[in-house]
Structure 1
Amino acid sequence: MITFEHPLNERIRTFLRLEHLFKQLDYCIHQEDPRGSRSAIATLLDIVAVTARADVRNELLKELDRHISSLDRLSSQRGVDQAALTEVMDDLRRASDAIHVLNGPIGHMAREDEFLKAIAQRSSIPGGTCSFDLPHFHYWVIQDAELRQARFTEWLEDLKPAIEAIQLALSLVRSSSASRQVSAEGGFYQEALDSLAPAQMVRVAVAADQNIFPEISGHKNRFSIRFMNAAARGRATQHFDDVDFKLTCCVF
């Protein structure tokens, strides 16, 4: 099965984008080849840009507090695994404390680094980070991998708490609801959502051998899914046959 996710509010949208970038960064950082470091720098600059546009610190604290309050209400209900609940709440409180103690906005260290600023200024130009444009960058990427790793560790100092908090929050959102088998008649499906229990995210899982993918649109009150045929070349076309798939509306 291939799973596709779609956020239903701006906070989760930002978290999903950052999660995607964090995973890419984690992969590239550990590549000893200079091209891996170049890709890692490009991804780090994308993270800096996202965190500059959104108040990630406050949004994270709000999300963690929301999870803590929701789980706290569950503690008095019968049948709840108290040990597991306590462990999750402790994880949430530790994540929140780590965000609280940060000195400045998330991504501040990388954002204010003069070396990264120079690269960012040239990155908007196609091929603008080549050796003759940025000789300092060219010199840096051919240094020992240990030296490059040390710099990344510095730049990520105030990003790591955010990485861990976002992963924890999204993990709870994803596991908050059970998936159900539904059918999209003629390749189209739509559903109204409960405004009293707003969903955070929609997850759609389809069989890998169907050669289709979903285009999802929606907000807190309603969402729709249109299945498309994956084309090897050219534009994707609408799929008009019925599609059985697994749907999860994550409401936590």
Structure 2
Amino acid sequence: MSDITVFEHPLNERIRTFLRLEHLFEKYDHFRIDETTWGTRAALEGLLDILAITSRSDIKSELAKELDRNANALGRVRDQPGVDPTMLDDVLAKLGKAQRSMIELHGQIGAGAREDDFMKAIAQRNSIPGGACSFDLPHYHHLLTKSSEARAQLLARWSTDLDPVKHAIDLILSLARSSSNARSVTAHQGFFQETLETGAPTQLIRVALNPELDCFPEISGHRNRFSIRFLTAKDTSRPTQTAADIAFKLTCCVF
């Protein structure tokens, strides 16, 4: 809903990494269609951040494991009451396609862009504040003078082998977010805590809040317990815990 603000907090390192990559893919997708040179710069910065995270050798295996775990979990509920077999088969087909795409992704994720000399130069200079300006990287400045169509083609070339990763992360997080129903709860004097069931580990906490309440949640936790403090702040001043009771929607995503 447009009048509700959702805050999320991961409860394991795998989902934490996937959420960061989702954020960076969203940044990249937003700026890649911006035809200005600053849009191209921002898109490349997002792409470089994606390459930095996916340089970890275990990212591909983590995605493959999570896709396989989701497929096995869904396969076990086929005969349970209330399960729509048509919808289930559709989701399993998407998981199977994502698994095949990951298998067909040979070598390191993003190898095409990572091994590109031009991208290496930008990545090296981009780590320095202001290091990617025109006199440091005249080749980059020259590229930015090209037409928006030419720049878009380059961005597409560098990101093509990242598409399977993006699709896999989108599918995994979508299944997690839709795995449980939201429930109405209240944080008394701005504080809420809950013990989690260890039999079905919670992966993600989602807090849906009316923005008119003018506060935000600070979530902390692990696989057994989590807590939420609702904070208020005037502009950029230091936040303080509210003394008011805060009604919100809570979703503990266990899939």
Residue identity opposite 1:81 in structure 2: D
Unaligned runs of 5+ in 2: none
**Aligned residue for 1:190?**
193
Indicate the larger mover: 152-161 or 19-28. Answer: 152-161
Q: Secondary structure at the match of 1:159?
A: helix
Q: Secondary structure at the match of 1:157?
A: helix
The answer to whether structure 1 residue 106 and structure 2 residue 109 are counterparts is yes
**Aligned residue for 1:11?**
14
Q: Aligned partners of 2:131 and 2:253: how far apart in 1?
A: 42
Q: Secondary structure at the match of 1:158?
A: helix
Q: Aligned partners of 2:105 and 2:249: how far apart in 1?
A: 40
Q: Aligned partners of 2:49 and 2:18: how far apart in 1?
A: 13
- Equivalent position to 1:166, from 165, 169, 172: 169
The answer to whether structure 1 residue 60 and structure 2 residue 67 are counterparts is no
Any idea what the Cα deviations from partners look like across 1:172-224, whole Å, max 9, x if unmatched? 00000000001111101111111110001000011011110001111111111
Q: Secondary structure at the match of 2:134?
A: coil
The answer to whether structure 1 residue 127 and structure 2 residue 130 are counterparts is yes
Alpha-carbon distance, 1:126 to partner: 1.2
Q: Aligned partners of 1:198 and 1:42: how far apart in 2?
A: 35
Q: Aligned partners of 1:41 and 1:219: how far apart in 2?
A: 34
**Aligned residue for 1:238?**
241
Alpha-carbon distance, 1:233 to partner: 3.1
| C-alpha RMSD of the superposition | 1.0
Residue identity opposite 1:95 in structure 2: A
**Aligned residue for 1:95?**
98
Indicate the larger mover: 226-235 or 57-66. Answer: 226-235
Q: Is the 8 A contact 1:228 1:238 kept in 2?
A: yes
Q: How many residues align?
A: 252
**Aligned residue for 2:54?**
51
Alpha-carbon distance, 1:54 to partner: 5.8
Q: Aligned partners of 2:247 and 2:202: how far apart in 1?
A: 22
TM-score normalised according to structure 1 size = 0.98
Q: Secondary structure at the match of 2:135?
A: coil
4+ long deviations beyond 6 Å: none
Unaligned runs of 5+ in 1: none
The answer to whether structure 1 residue 82 and structure 2 residue 79 are counterparts is no
Q: Secondary structure at the match of 2:172?
A: helix
